[in-house]
Amino acid sequence: MSKKIISTENAPKAIGPYSQAVEINGMLFVSGQIPLNPATGKIVEGGITEQTEQVLKNIGAVLSAAGYSFADVVKSTCLLADMKYFAEMNAVYSKYYPTEAPARAAYAVHELPMEALVEIETIAAKG
């Protein structure tokens, strides 16, 4: 039952006291990802579409570093700066989960780090 800290240079470094992901007992808990470009440490330019794409690329990099894929994702939580972004976020999100989408919740929140428009956290499991 030992936990393993996952870290990759292909996703943004943690900007606080947390890990990119933690694996334990065949489950991977990916910390909330915001649309930071890992090379620059800055929010990607563009609107919710571009930001959601970057968030999912970051999640993909963390999943890959731990030996998982989007097919292993069982739960996502999407945090939006405003629910008006829901449809556009959902359009990008659906490209990453074309079949057998994970369970999911989506919330509008008051504010996200670095004025991001979207943040997504993910749980993956090896069956």
pLDDT band of residue 14 (cuts 50, 70, 90) is: confident
Q: What is the spatial distance between Cα 20 and Cα 113, in angstroms, rounded to a whole number?
A: 15
* pLDDT above 80: residue 127: no
User: Over pLDDT 90: what percentage of the chain?
Assistant: 94
* pLDDT above 90: residue 64: yes
Other Cβ atoms less than 10 A from the Cβ of 67: the count is 12
Q: Could you tell me the pTM of the whole model?
A: 0.96
Domains of the chain: 4-125 (3.30.1330.40)
